Chains A and B, each alone.
Chain A
Amino acid sequence: MARKTKGPAGGREGGVDIQRPQLARRGFIRAAGTAALSLTALGHVGREARAAAFRPDLTMEANPNPPSAYPKWFPSWSEVEQLARKEGQVQVSAWGSAEAKEMFNKLCTQFERKTGIKAVYRHGDWFAAQQQVLNEVKEKKEQGSIDAIFLWGKPFSNLMQGGGVWEVPILDLLPNARKIAYRPELGRFVHDMVPTYGCFVPQINYQDCFVYDRKKYKPSDMPKSVDGVLDWAKRHKGKFTYCDVNKGGSGHTWVMMLIYALTGGYEKYAFRPFSKEVAAKDWKPLWDYLKELEPYMYRPGTYPQGNNAVAQLFSAEEIDFCPNWDGTMAQEVRGGRLDPDRLGMIVPEPGIFSPCDGFTIPANAAHKAAALLFLDYLVSVEAQMEVPRVMASYPVVTEAWDKLPEKERQQPWHPVQNLREWRDLGRMGARHGEYMFQMMTEWVDRIARK
């Protein structure tokens, strides 16, 4: 059976079971179908959710959307499809690299061809898109200009707090979402432990890795664990660097792993309320570690400003080892700047988090049913196969990975071939957003400051 949902999204008590749509009575649906998808009908859900102060650490304690808050019905999927056709179009907003633009353009075209529903794609900037939605909601504009918006943790949290998210557990409505790998990190919360209440549909799964020069080193020469970097750097002075934690995720994701490894383990932080005291009291080993590391790094005291800056130093053979993303390194190879034979990627123990970006539907989206249909298409096997192909990252649907031709799976930027075993059964975890921002602020003062 498909996954059981925990938390609010299942809505089991309300008699809403998308796996048994026949329970919903047709006559009733016809009258209420449109209303079910409208903001008015679900307004009180939103109010309820906003009333509970939005804090990531509440996930395990309280349910901000009690099942009683939900209406007693949901439309069946075929009803959603009908409604979507009536709406006729969906406005999709995303951002990211040239590859992201290419992928979303392609997916929108394919979606249009498949369903006959027009998908208008706008490639923008996450902050601009977020402000647009928040502003429209504040101005009480009922027909918003964005129907499906691509997000990472912070903007999702901002939208949620600003009442910009359509607070309906959309992830549980989508038939294809059942194929998403069974990990809470893939949908139940966004990568910085921001709970989604099912209002978020993951689309891409990035992997931060240890990147090393395969021509110079054997995999056995490389550190086995996230905190093994220091020993390696001491043996190979000037050959390692990581990017400024405020300028690139590859740097701060690795440092977050160090926090867990050096100051008390993942369990100490996972889904616990943020405490400044913990950071003040327990993080000395982290700062000592990074300070000790600095003199052995590439050009001590200078930190590359971003993932790509680090990748380019690697391509130029200035460094032999760095943490970086799968997609960033693929860009270097595809851009003809990096010799693919040099690119080695490994994931150390106990793993480095691989965050997911994905979509939500704004509270005032004008074409909600079409947006649902579009998001369902995005998590179909066909659409998910484009993620590794174009973006060089992992799909959230493991089946899509399995179906890729052997050659495509064995590209040098993919650190792991057996995704099912390694990701779906292995450990993934997430970054704690508030601790992460605390670390990023303190890092400037404690490590970068001279």
Chain B
Amino acid sequence: MTSPRTSRRRQFGDLLMVAPLALFLGTMVLVPLVIAVLSSVGMTTVAPGLTGEFTLQGFREFFDPTKPSLAALWFTFKVTLVTTAISTGLGLALALFMRFRRIALGQVMSFLVKIPLFMPYLVTAFVFWVLLYPKGYIGILTHKLLVEYLALVEQAPALISDPLGIGIIVCGSWMRFPYAFVIIHGLLQMIDPSYEEAARTLGARTGRIVRRVYLPLVGYGLLSVALLNFLALFIAFSIPFVLGASWPQFLSVFIYVNAKDQGNWLAGYTASVVYIVIALAIATFYTRALQRAKTHA
């Protein structure tokens, strides 16, 4: 038990420790954020086409169902969700596999798995273009498999510039699964193996151990990875720019084409504000979950 005085002192100490971060966020994030919000209602002149006068036209156009922006938002959300699930799931599966099989992450593997983290985004996007297009290795393989051997279809589906976003999903999953793996594997290493042994002696099977022992323990990490992957893919630009379709457009590409090429910065900033609102909503959910994770862990 701590006395109120110690508790107050502690709280003050905590504030002091958070202060550098708060100061940094306050200057480097809050300022551009305020500028972005003001720009989305036309009230700055930071970019060409912004007049400095208040207008809600950007939001009216963004939420106009006849315009492509809402469809772009929905498409972006769907594709991002699928990619997050695949990349996080893959990372988790691999980390658990290595844990159960007691495979030591040797130097080579530990080195290999980090490669996607250091591939320049644009190069990655372009490499997947040449892998997935009909004359690329994956393109040829898909054709041979679906058309020639299984004879399921007459023509293999387009893997790039396709309306389902297959190219984006494949490339995004490749880029993000190491993040999931690295964090979850690291957290699993911190768990005492005696937990698993105890569960096993009590007769628990692998599935139950995963659900009852590991998932609660790495819950926070998993959530955090999923959030990071979701947000990183949500605003990704290079991948959808190279691999995306003409319809539906990825929101970041929509912003780029509208703002940079056509000079419609009102639309650009409106979409940015929509992005940020979604991020804040997710962050709130995340902070709540964190509090819960802290009490459960």
Chain A residues with CB under 8 Å of chain B are 127, 130-131, 134, 138, 154, 158, 161-162, 244, 246-247, 299, 301-306, 309, 312-313, 316, 318, 437, 440-441, 444-445, 447-450
Q: With A303-B245, A318-B134 as given contacts, are A449 and B161 in contact (CB-CB < 8 Å)?
A: no
Chain B residues near A447 (CB, 8 Å)? Answer: 246
Q: How far is the CB of A129 from chain B (nearest CB, A)?
A: 13
Which residues of the other chain, B, contact A316 by a CB distance below 8 angstroms? 133-135
Is A161 in contact with B158, judged by CB distance below 8 angstroms? no
By the criterion CB–CB under 8 Å, are B48 and A161 in contact?
yes
A306 nearest in chain B by CB position: B242
Residue-wise, chain B 43-78 has the 8 Å CB interface mask toward A (1 for contact) of 001011000000000000000001110010000000
With A158-B48, A318-B134, A445-B68 in contact, do A127 and B260 touch (Cβ < 8 Å)? yes
- Chain B residues lying within 8 Å of A449, measured Cβ to Cβ, are 68, 71, 247-248
Q: Indicate if the CB atoms of A444 and B161 lie closer than 8 Å.
A: no
Q: Which residue of B has the minimal Cβ distance to A440?
A: B262
Residues of chain B within 8 A (CB-CB) of A318 are 133-135
Residue of A244, A302, A448 with most chain B CB atoms under a 10 A cut-off: A302
Partner of B129, one of A244, A246, A309, A448: A309
Interface residue ranges of B197-230 to A (CB < 8 Å):
none
* Pairs A–B under 8 Å by Cβ, sample size 10: A127-B260, A158-B48, A299-B158, A302-B246, A305-B244, A312-B133, A313-B133, A445-B67, A445-B68, A447-B246
**Min C-beta distance of B71 to chain A, whole Å:** 8
Min distance, Cβ A326 to any Cβ of chain B, angstroms:
22
Contacting residues, chain B, for A244 (C-beta < 8 A): 161, 246
Q: A301-B163, A305-B161, A437-B262 are in contact. Are A450 and B247 (CB under 8 A)?
A: yes
Q: Are A305 and B242 in contact (CB under 8 A)?
A: yes
B positions within 8 Å CB-CB of A: 45, 47-48, 66-68, 71, 129-130, 133-135, 155, 158, 160-163, 241-249, 257, 260-263
Are A134 and B48 in contact, with the CB atoms below 8 A? yes
With both beta carbons as reference points, the residue of chain B lying nearest to A303 in the complex is identified as B246
Chain B residues with CB under 8 A of A312: 130, 133
Cβ of A357 to closest chain B Cβ, rounded Å: 15
Question: Whole-angstrom distance between the alpha carbons of A312 and B130 in the complex?
Answer: 9
Partner of B257, one of A246, A304, A313, A445: A246
Assembly CA distance A299 to B134 (angstroms): 11
A324 to B261, CA, bound (A): 19
Interface residues of chain B: helix, strand, loop or mixed (majority): loop
Closest chain A residue, CB of each to CB of B66: A445
In the complex, number of A-B residue pairs with CB atoms less than 8 Å apart: 72
Contacts of B247 in A (CB 8 A): 444, 448-450
Q: Which residues of B contact A441 (CB under 8 A)?
A: 262
Complex Cα distance A161/B50, Å?
12
List 12 additional contacts besides A318-B135, A444-B246, A445-B67; criterion CB under 8 Å: A154-B262, A158-B263, A244-B246, A302-B161, A303-B246, A305-B241, A306-B242, A440-B257, A441-B262, A444-B249, A448-B247, A449-B68
- Distance in angstroms between the alpha carbons of A313 and B47 in the assembled complex: 37
Q: How many angstroms between the C-alpha atoms of A299 and B249 in the bound complex? A: 18
Q: How many angstroms from the CA of A120 to the CA of B128 in the assembled complex?
A: 36
CA A304 to CA B245, docked complex, whole Å: 8
Q: In the bound complex, how far is the Cα of B241 from the Cα of A440, in angstroms?
A: 16
Residues of A within 8 A of B135 (CB): 316, 318
CA distance A448 to B244 in the complex (A): 12
B260: chain A residues at CB < 8 Å are 127
Pairwise interchain contact A302-B263, C-beta atoms closer than 8 A:
no
For the complex of A and B, 5 pairs with smallest distance between CB atoms: A448-B247, A448-B246, A316-B135, A303-B246, A158-B48
* A445–B158 CA distance with the chains assembled, in angstroms: 21
Nearest-neighbour CB distance to chain A for B240, whole angstroms, equals: 9
Tell me the smallest distance from the CB of A406 to a CB of chain B, in Å. 35
Are A246 and B68 touching (Cβ within 8 A)?
Answer: no
Partner of A304, one of B47, B67, B161, B263: B161
Bound Cα distance from A247 to B241, whole angstroms: 9
Q: Name the CB-closest residue of A to B161.
A: A302
> Closest residue of chain B to A444, judged by CB?
B68
Interchain CB contact under 8 A, B68 and A154: no
Most chain A beta-carbon neighbours within 10 Å: one of B48, B162, B241: B48
B162 touches which one: A127, A302, A306, A448 (CB < 8 A)?
A302
Residues of A contacting B45 in the complex (Cβ-Cβ under 8 angstroms): 138
Contact of B261 among A246, A309, A313, A450 (CB under 8 A): A246
Most buried by B among A161, A306, A447, A449: A449
What's the nearest-Cβ distance from chain B to residue A444, in Å? 5
Which single residue of chain B is at the shortest CB-CB distance from A127?
Answer: B260
What residues on A are CB-neighbors of B66 within 8 Å?
445
User: Which residues of chain B have C-beta atoms less than 8 A from A304's C-beta?
Assistant: 161
Q: Are A302 and B249 in contact (CB under 8 A)?
A: no
